[in-house]
Structure 1
Amino acid sequence: MHYDASATSSLYQALPWMMVLDERRIAAEPMLREVIDLIVAHDDSGSPGAQLITLRVFEMAFVLSLRPMLEGTLDRPVAVAAFQHPEIGKALLIMSTRFAEPWTLESLSREVGMSRSAFAASFRKLVGEAPAAHLTACRMRESARLLAESSVPLGAVPERVGYKSAVGFHLAFRKHHSIPPGEYRQRHRSQLAG
């Protein structure tokens, strides 16, 4: 895909070099699954307009791929302003996609090229919460998804979402969801069975 680098948004510039969507995420987005199937099956390279059609199909796949990645981050109007800020937009994307890494306020601010104090102040102003609280929310969202929708062992979930300590994860999960992780999994499994 070709684009004008001078006209790209901060959100586009903040995207990782590579996005990986597993089968579960593709299955959860029926339109994305159909577009991927179309790309795989489509082979009319010699027909008129084929190059333009292929480009548009890839653009659609790209946009649809972003949706699960950004799920939950654009539900507040303030988040749109935050994504327009080059450094804060990049930080939000990092937290949404690389939440398992051992981020600190220092390492996040360094990653986006801001001083620690300027980053913390700008993030709080634009997002409405501290960077640590936002990162915790991203981790709790993913841990809830893993517990409800996957067979990842309970003991493996903390590391998958960025916690070195199972106790620390347990306390954070209970504070965020009001129930322990094991009970959360049991409730969701019983809802699926019933």
Structure 2
Amino acid sequence: MIDESDVLTHVLDPLRLNGMFLSQWEVSSPWAIQGKPEPCALIHYMVSGSATISMPDQEPVTLAEGDLAMFPRGDTHIVGDSPRTPPRPLEDVLPTRSTGKFSLIHLDGGGEPGRMLCAGLHYEADGVLPLYHLLPSLLVVEAEQISKEPLLAHMLDGLKREIREHHEGRNLVLLRGFELVYLLGLRVALRDPSALGRVASVLRNPGIGHALTAIYENYDYPWTLESLAQSAGMSRSAFAQTFKQLIGEAPARHLMCRRLAEAKRLLSVTTLSQEAIAKKIGYESTVGMHLAFRSLYGTTPGAFRKKHQAKLRRNG
């Protein structure tokens, strides 16, 4: 079964963060902002003061000074001084949020002041495994928890200084810094079984856990439905039905997604030939990988590599 203490590795390993926008909010009550769903992970760090987060069909959550809120899938929410304050649309206050941009926002209601850092971390949605989508829409790490995590606490303190001091390479430092804050914050939040949401159901099922471990750690093996069912200690039909019910897709597709997520990584960071990559991820031929890659991502491995290299040249 998947080691619950290392669930973060399995959930986040294929996640490729590739850009960030950052804003600092200087606010005073009354204030409230409503954002639309965004294809990125969102972070709110309450530097001073307090705020309330409201989401559809959920009780409001209060952020105290020093608390960290994370939205793994960028779900819609309202953040403000009180759930009763009418919100303004985010696009009215911050119409453009291009990657790498830092914005300073003032919302002066004349009351109690506060300061909040907000980051949006972009990732390639088609490279994310379904387990990531099973995470709760909101995870909060309280200041007291952060104080017991030296690396997370030091990262947040360092990022606050980096924002103020404008050193060379600031944008890259902020991207990598908030990327690490996000991973460290999730690690802390996911130690609480009640915070795992639907992921907990997967982890509590020993058979499906064994099969997922096989898929994630040995994706290059020529797995079949029968051999995966055997690894789970289940019949083929029971395994296929339970897997789809808990994960949201068939075992074969889940295995394909895991293999192709690794293919994208190898195409991006290595000069390995497509033939070598196909063998590394468990395909018998480049044709098989080519067809699967195009089916899932809408492009070929070669075209993806060229586009990625062109993007690196533009940004480099």
TM-score range, shorter chain: 0.5 to 0.7
**1:128-147 equivalence runs, <5 A:** 128-147=248-267
CA RMSD in angstroms, aligned pairs only: 2.5
Residue 96 of structure 1: aligned partner: 216
Distance in structure 2 (CA, Å) of the matches to 1:168 and 1:161: 11
Residue 31 of structure 1: aligned partner: none
Displacement of 1:193: 1.4
Whether the 8 Å CA contact 1:142–1:161 is kept in 2: the answer is yes
Displacement of 1:79: 3.4
Return the letter of the residue paired with 1:11.
I
Residue 154 of structure 1: aligned partner: 274
Displacement of 1:190: 1.1
Correspondent of 1:124 among 244, 265, 270: 244
Q: Which has the higher contact order (CA 8 A, sep 6+)?
A: 2
Unpaired runs of at least 5, structure 2: 7-16, 18-127, 136-197
- Counting aligned pairs with the same residue, the percent is 38
Whether the 8 Å CA contact 2:219–2:259 is kept in 1: the answer is yes
Residue 42 of structure 1: aligned partner: none
Q: Write out per-residue CA displacement over residues 136-191 of structure 1, whole angstroms, 9 at most, x where no aligned residue.
A: 11011110111011122222111111110221111000011111100101111111
Return the TM-score normalized by structure 2.
Answer: 0.39
Which one has a bigger Cα radius of gyration? Answer: 2
Secondary structure in 2 matching 1:11: coil
Return the TM-score normalized by structure 1.
Answer: 0.62
Q: Write out per-residue CA displacement over residues 7-31 of structure 1, whole angstroms, 9 at most, x where no aligned residue.
A: xxx4328x8xxxxxxxxxxxx9xxx
Residue 300 of structure 2: aligned partner: 180
Whether the 8 Å CA contact 2:240–2:250 is kept in 1: the answer is yes
Whether the 8 Å CA contact 2:274–2:286 is kept in 1: the answer is no
Residue 12 of structure 1: aligned partner: 3
